[in-house]
Copies of this chain bind each other. A is one copy, B any other.
Amino acid sequence: MIGRLNHVAIAVRDIATASEVYRKTLGVDVSPPEALEEHGVTVVFITLPNTKIELLEPLGGESPIARFLEKNPDGGIHHICYEVDDIAASRDRLVNSGARVLGSGEPKIGAHGKPVLFLHPKDFNGTLIELEQA
């Protein structure tokens, strides 16, 4: 069912400092920051030859990564995103197998403008998984 690893998302306190770590210390290009107000994050993209790394800084009072950063003050890997061909069919398969989809269970439009769902970490080895219809 799942296909490519679309991205690894890393939550950070300060996206400018974190971008410099990737740019200067790890020697890769980092995109300019984009404020995604409807998603509660500011994001930069690091395009590797085979996938992307996204650095996320909280934006606004309701950021979905604020609580994660309270628990992990240095930052850390927040989620991984797998691509699927058909998100509705994937959701049905997951629910039928007993796995929990976060929120209403209906796909929402994610940060890349494509339908996404998040899966309950307790059902997936403590890992927050995003599914994105590729």
Contacts and interface: CB of A to CB of B under 8 A. Distances in A.
Interface of A: 1-5, 8, 10, 12, 18, 21, 24-28, 48-51, 53, 55, 72-77, 80, 82, 93-94, 97, 99, 121-127
Q: Determine chain A's interface SS by DSSP, over half rule.
A: loop
Contacts of A125: 10, 12, 18, 21, 55, 74-76
Nearest to A1: B27
A21 B75 contact: no
Contacts of A123: 21, 25
B27 A2 contact: yes
Contacts of A72: 126
A132 to B, nearest CB: 13
A48 B127 contact: no
Contacts of A4: 48-51
Contacts of A1: 26-28
Nearest to A76: B126
Given A4-B48, A48-B82, A75-B126, 5 more contacts: A25-B94, A26-B82, A27-B93, A50-B50, A75-B125
A3 B27 CA distance: 9
A16 to B, nearest CB: 12
